[in-house]
Structure 1
Amino acid sequence: MRNRLTGFKQGILLSACLGLAPASLLAASSDWVYAVLQGDTLSEFGKQYLRKDIDWRQVQKLNQIRNPDVIRPGQKIRVPSSWLNAQPSAAEVVAMTGDVRVQRKDSNGSAALKMNDRLVLGDRLSTGDDSSITIRFADTSELTLLQNSELIFDQLSLFGDSGMVDSKLRLSQGSAEARVKPRMDARARFEIHTPSAISAVRGTEFRSVYQEGSAAARVEVLTGGVAVAAEGVSQLVPAGFGTRVKQGEAPVQPKELLPPAEFMPVANEIIQRNYNLQWQPLQGAQAYRVQISDTPRFSTLKTDEIIQQPGFFLPQFNNGDYYLRVRGIDNLDIEGRGSVAQLPLRVQPLPPLMVYYPWQQAVVGNYYQFSWSAPEKAIRWHFQVARDADFSEIVSDQQDLGQSLSQKVFLDQPGDYFWRVASVDENGNKGVFSPAATLNVQSKHRILQGDWLADRQTVRIQIPGLSHDRYKVQLAADTEFQQILEEWNRGPGELELDRFMSVRYIRIASVKGEQHGQWGESQMIAPDIHNDTAALISWLSGAAFLL
């Protein structure tokens, strides 16, 4: 083996497959290793795979096969790639985002890639900041190239009508994630070369990284297995393990990948800008890789960052369904198994906050008043009241309310009611409904609900969120928040304010430790200028009735 590896003095050979023994490392990197199937003969093999000027007897001699008619299923046959009947193949762009460019063979410059473009032998592919691309090969294997990476197509071949694809790629910088189609007959070959490693895979999902600054290659295996050889030492890396190889050194002992992170619950609809995504700290993690995609397969990435703490402010994206993936990174920079969470982002236009004025508790003739704030981009409202939390028993449904920030509804049946409001912007776009608020109607009589005399000096606002969420909340007298009246660092729930007689503005930001994300839209809260007389009469008449 030492003699065979002499040509790799400046590199490391890694071989990954389903069922490929480490002994196959003896084959030169330019050789194809074929696993014999039931019924195979060397003569039929030659007709299907070899060039017309190559006789099958040359394969017999190379592999020291005594009887060409007796080859065992599973037996490995080594064939130089130059002997094979290869036809040019191509890879296709199936997803991309950001700045992705290709330099064609024999071209001095590069050009921007487009969807469905084809990549062929000799092409050089590069990605810029916040850019990524997924390409699909002729056998449906896929590779995703991450940001600030460069990949060169050294070989793309299809062998006759066998379906066997030979792909050799050179990752000169950055990161690639491969999903290689399994082939139990061991015919396909897929290699990724780096300046310090070669990953030869067959039916494997793995990650390959080359860090130019440290001249080190890293391989993390998710399915299948990887045989790693360097400096005369070979290691078999099974699924769920990773290794790191520096030039001139043997591969480190395979190390188990860190387990998936455990996410804190995420709201069914995220309505807070720069929402703080949280997960439990992973033991052994020195850092975390955070990736966000708009596809569940992570074919392209909108975010790809390494952070030190278990929390991340969601960037400002448009409304849509996004996917979060987090991996722990250990002290060897080996990345662990990923956790994935769905992120249903619904921040445009922002739903209002529920507002409770003291006079709203006055019930005269069973008319109840509901009020809310006004996000800065909202001009109309969709208001609903229902008897159930799923809003299948609608009591009131006002779909095009104007500038008014309140609505009066007649409720003459006791029990629990649920109400919510959605904003509509100037373009007619309706946002999601606010989290439903509850109202308990205790009687059909003209009785004040609640202790009006005690509550009349306060205004209450409902701050939405989950129990583990933390927010910074500011209340101001102006839209620019130059005149800040109060500030809180708190969780979700009811916020109680002193009663005010002029317009107020409120804004909310997610909090992570000592930091907070960008502020959400400011929301106007109308002043409490209603006359208390009707409320007092209602309360007194209700008290008299109870007596």
Structure 2
Amino acid sequence: MVTALNPSPLKPTALRTLLAGLLLACGLQAQANEPLTITIARGDTLIKLCERYLREPGQWPQIKRLNRIAKDTRLQPGFSLRIPFALLRWTERSAEVVHVQGVVTGLLSGTTSLLSPGLQLKAGDKFDTGTAGTLTLRLPDGATVVFPPHTQAGLGVSREVSGTAVRATAIDLQTGAADSTVPSLKDPASRFEIRTPRVVTAVRGTRFRVAAEGDTSHHEVLSGVVAVDGASGHASLQPAQGLRADGGQLGTVVPLLPAADLSALPQRIERIAQNLSLPPLADAVAWRWQVADDAGFVRLLQDARTTGPNWLLQGLPDADYFVRVRAIDAQGLEGLEAQKAFALRARPEPPVLMSPGPGASVARPSELVWTQLAKAPAYRVQVARDGQFADLLVDRADAQGDNNNRLAMDPAWGPGTYHWRVATLRPDGSHGPFGDPASFTVLAPSVMAAPAVSENSVQLAWSGPAGFRHRVQVAPTEDFAQPEYDEQVPGARLDLPTPAAGVHFVRTQVVLPDGSAGSWSDAQHFEVPRKPQYGWWLLLLLAPAL
């Protein structure tokens, strides 16, 4: 008889739990009384066969009566000999820990320890994956069982009948989940079971999942056929079917949700934190995301549940991985799976672009500036006229040295929009992923028009980018050492009172909102003529008349 493992003390609902357990035990007892069938070979005798298979060989008369054998020493070759399971000699087998991610604790033969690959678990050993750990066991029958975070379980049964292909394996799942892949069992008498405190799921070769939380358990079949036994009776699950059980009462068998569409997920990820997003799926209320470094998901690395079809992938080193996703319905049943391979290539990380910022306007002279990373030997900088970086103006991998985080803009770049991005070089000269690109606009420089001088004013005008202030200087010397006028003004026109007679010089530059300014325009000059002096000679002309 196989009994369920439940180390916790009885709770207020103990009576109901006990009744459910007794019903399950009765079912398992009936299974244990099923006979093992052996085909007689030439030379076999009843005594020899009982010595080989029975726990107590002296019980051979029971085998004789059960099989109605007249003579002990003569068995007909090809005859089918039936032996009750309760009389068989079982050999205990261990289960191997093949993968551990994070911290997984175990209670092995009464001693608490951390689990690691290569350890052998025996019947009665328990484990806890904690809040972030995962564990994969390989059973003697070739099955693998993957346990995600928040799982408490144990190896309930692991044994075989020596000299036969009969195996009996049971996992006792207290809380959490178990994702099992079970190869076809060679002998019809073999059993593989996942047992929650109130429901037993038995298979003979399939891929299925069981999850348990409190009085509720979920059972989902991906391939093969699964038998589910609860306090309320028995159910059979076909591929793509599942059911929910509450308090040992089996719910209705329903189809699982279809597989999610992963076609939009990237095959190459170049960020240490990447948002993954899927199209919505009808009737999905939550989503399960898993990452492994093998296609069979034996080495489960991450397991997460989200309320929507979005998940932030992070915390993984650069390597090749597989992501697996399934939708969850309102009953908590997880649907069919979809998985996709992807390559994570996020290191060395790119620097952050500092100036000019995304969408900024700049005026020459200016420079590109990015953050300087510790231990970064150099950077690769690209500047292009297009966002796809097909029309490159700059592609340099020699930005290095003490000031290797800046690059002066080429004076030849005309007014217009440009795009730039930076990657970090490795010591071997290759580079990591480019960071997010940014665009900026080079403003047209200011150009002064010829001033218009009148008796009372001077009219100044210039060309340049609209929507910005301009600084205007007027000075009596070309070096503008002592400006007569030096102000920032809006627009592209200015009227000034006519200055003193003589030659004057004028120039302008665009001023950006951050206070930076473009280059000065070429200086224009204008001349204010001297006014005629009439006083003394007019008196001379009028003197005779006086």
Task: Give me the TM-score of the superposition, normalised by structure 1.
Answer: 0.62
* Match of residue 263 from structure 1: 262
Question: Per the alignment, in what secondary structure is the counterpart of residue 336 of structure 1?
Answer: coil
Q: CA deviation at 1:88?
A: 2.5
CA gap of 1:36–1:348, structure 2 versus 1, over 3 A, is farther
* Match of residue 8 from structure 2: none
Match of 2:96 among 87, 92, 98: 92
Q: Highest relative contact order (Cα 8 Å, sep 6+), 1 or 2?
A: 1
* 1:25-82: CA deviation from partner (whole Å, max 9, x where unpaired): 797243566577898999697676444616677457557899976668xxxx975444
Aligned length: 426
- Unaligned runs of 5+ residues in structure 1 are 1-6, 15-24, 363-368, 412-417, 439-448, 459-497, 503-527, 535-547
* Match of residue 278 from structure 2: 279
* Match of residue 540 from structure 1: none
Measured in 2, the distance between the counterparts of 1:336 and 1:501 equals: 55
* 1:174-230: CA deviation from partner (whole Å, max 9, x where unpaired): 211111122354354322222111222221111112221xx1332111111112344
Measured in 1, the distance between the counterparts of 2:425 and 2:274 equals: 22
* Match of residue 10 from structure 1: 20
Matched, 1:152 2:149: no
* Match of residue 144 from structure 2: 142
* Match of residue 311 from structure 2: 312
Q: For the Cα contact (< 8 Å) 1:128–1:149, is it kept in 2?
A: yes
Q: For the Cα contact (< 8 Å) 2:351–2:373, is it kept in 1?
A: no
* 1:316-367: CA deviation from partner (whole Å, max 9, x where unpaired): 44444444332222222211112224452516523555979988999xxxxx
* Match of residue 216 from structure 2: 216
CA gap of 1:241–1:135, structure 2 versus 1, over 3 A, is same
Question: Per the alignment, in what secondary structure is the counterpart of residue 234 of structure 2?
Answer: strand
- Unaligned runs of 5+ residues in structure 2 are 1-16, 413-418, 447-462, 468-510, 523-546
Q: What amino acid does structure 1 have at the position aligned with 2:222?
A: L
Q: What amino acid does structure 2 have at the position aligned with 1:210?
A: A
Measured in 1, the distance between the counterparts of 2:117 and 2:85 equals: 31
CA gap of 1:79–1:312, structure 2 versus 1, over 3 A, is farther
Report the structure number with the largest CA radius of gyration: 2
Q: For the Cα contact (< 8 Å) 2:286–2:307, is it kept in 1?
A: yes
* 1:461-491: CA deviation from partner (whole Å, max 9, x where unpaired): xxxxxxxxxxxxxxxxxxxxxxxxxxxxxxx
Q: CA deviation at 1:385?
A: 7.3
Measured in 1, the distance between the counterparts of 2:133 and 2:335 equals: 22
Q: What is the identity percentage for the equivalent residue pairs of Structure 1 and Structure 2?
A: 24
Q: For the Cα contact (< 8 Å) 2:36–2:84, is it kept in 1?
A: no
* Match of residue 133 from structure 2: 131
Measured in 2, the distance between the counterparts of 1:431 and 1:125 equals: 41
Q: CA deviation at 1:293?
A: 3.8
Where in structure 2 are the equivalents of 1:104-123 lying within 5 Å?
104-105=108-109, 107=110, 109-123=111-125
Measured in 1, the distance between the counterparts of 2:316 and 2:258 equals: 29
Measured in 2, the distance between the counterparts of 1:53 and 1:455 equals: 106
Measured in 2, the distance between the counterparts of 1:103 and 1:122 equals: 9
Measured in 2, the distance between the counterparts of 1:96 and 1:373 equals: 40
Q: For the Cα contact (< 8 Å) 1:358–1:456, is it kept in 2?
A: no
CA gap of 1:39–1:243, structure 2 versus 1, over 3 A, is farther
Q: What amino acid does structure 1 have at the position aligned with 2:277?
A: Q
Q: For the Cα contact (< 8 Å) 2:328–2:334, is it kept in 1?
A: yes
Where in structure 2 are the equivalents of 1:101-500 lying within 5 Å?
101-105=105-109, 107=110, 109-186=111-188, 188-212=190-214, 215-231=215-231, 233-247=233-247, 249=249, 251-263=250-262, 265-272=264-271, 274-343=273-342, 344=344, 346=346, 348-350=348-350, 373-374=370-371, 379-383=376-380, 398=397, 401-402=400-401, 403-406=404-407, 421-424=422-425, 431-434=432-435
* 1:290-323: CA deviation from partner (whole Å, max 9, x where unpaired): 3334544333545433322221223444444444
Measured in 2, the distance between the counterparts of 1:531 and 1:62 equals: 107
* 1:388-447: CA deviation from partner (whole Å, max 9, x where unpaired): x999xxx966366341433889x9xxxxxx996421589999532347999xxxxxxxxx
* Match of residue 22 from structure 1: none
Measured in 1, the distance between the counterparts of 2:337 and 2:236 equals: 22
Q: For the Cα contact (< 8 Å) 1:85–1:159, is it kept in 2?
A: yes
Task: Give me the TM-score of the superposition, normalised by structure 2.
Answer: 0.62
Measured in 1, the distance between the counterparts of 2:295 and 2:464 equals: 49
Q: What amino acid does structure 2 have at the position aligned with 1:299?
A: V
Measured in 1, the distance between the counterparts of 2:517 and 2:270 equals: 30
CA gap of 1:278–1:26, structure 2 versus 1, over 3 A, is same
* Match of residue 495 from structure 1: none
Q: For the Cα contact (< 8 Å) 2:126–2:153, is it kept in 1?
A: yes
CA gap of 1:267–1:174, structure 2 versus 1, over 3 A, is closer
Measured in 2, the distance between the counterparts of 1:185 and 1:145 equals: 27
Q: What amino acid does structure 1 have at the position aligned with 2:338?
A: S
Q: Superposition RMSD on alpha carbons, in Å?
A: 5.1
Q: For the Cα contact (< 8 Å) 2:325–2:338, is it kept in 1?
A: yes
Question: Per the alignment, in what secondary structure is the counterpart of residue 148 of structure 1?
Answer: coil
Question: Per the alignment, in what secondary structure is the counterpart of residue 28 of structure 1?
Answer: helix
Measured in 1, the distance between the counterparts of 2:244 and 2:168 equals: 26
* Match of residue 441 from structure 1: none
Q: For the Cα contact (< 8 Å) 1:349–1:424, is it kept in 2?
A: no
Measured in 2, the distance between the counterparts of 1:127 and 1:159 equals: 31
Q: CA deviation at 1:132?
A: 1.5
Measured in 1, the distance between the counterparts of 2:172 and 2:19 equals: 18
* Match of residue 531 from structure 2: none
